[in-house]
Amino acid sequence: MSGDSAAPVSAARNTAAPGSATRWSLRDLMLVVVLGVVFGFLYWGLVQGWIALSALAGPFGDLVQHVLLGGWLLVAPLAIAIVRRPFAGVVSEVIASVIEVVFLGSAVGPTLLIAAAIQGAGSELPFAAGRYRSYGWVRYMLSGALGAGAVFFYSAFRSGWYGTDLFWTRFVIQVLSGAIVGGLLAKVLVLAIARTGAVDNFAIGRDTAAAR
């Protein structure tokens, strides 16, 4: 093939890439829905751990239980990393909250959907800033920290934490939990899932193959 004929092909490939980064397929959508449903049940189980930890910690339970907050941030970075599409984090978190509220009878009620959307948006922000192309450890950590930080102020309003002595202590615990559990643990899970080959047909698999 001559250089002249190869140039249009190369140009077409380069111009197709940006559009494909935002185009959802039915497969992408179905995976995000499945992840949301699965994590909705896992989040309900985490609620039981939250209650148990609060009881075990006695007078400090209301504070100590916040170390588990990062667990509610896991599905967003997983969904984003696998399908690499805008709003995957928000959609997956909201679906998980719908499962908790509608099918598992969450005591929080419909306001949980608002919290889910906020934490999903916060978790997605670092990946969106990298145009859904960067998935290093620091970006995952920032994802968890921002998700936890964003939803904290909404939770503080609902729970009446503003003006209390432990306001910033709660904030620091939640952000650290988000960074470690909702961020770094999410990265570990993504790597483990990718190694199984189960997501090779999604963006994560194609990008990994292209990088080899």
Between CA 179 and CA 148 the distance in angstroms is: 8
**Residue 13's pLDDT band (cuts 50, 70, 90):** very low
**Residue 21's pLDDT band (cuts 50, 70, 90):** low
pLDDT in tens, 150-197: 999 999 999 999 999 999 999 999 999 999 999 999 999 999 999 999
pTM of the full structure = 0.85
> 193 is written with which tokens?
């899932």
The pLDDT of residue 14 is 36
| pLDDT(4) > 90 | no
pLDDT in tens, 54-101: 889 888 888 888 899 999 999 999 999 999 999 999 999 999 999 999
Burial of 165 (0-12, 13-18, 19+ CB in 10 A): exposed
Domains in the chain: boundaries: 25-211
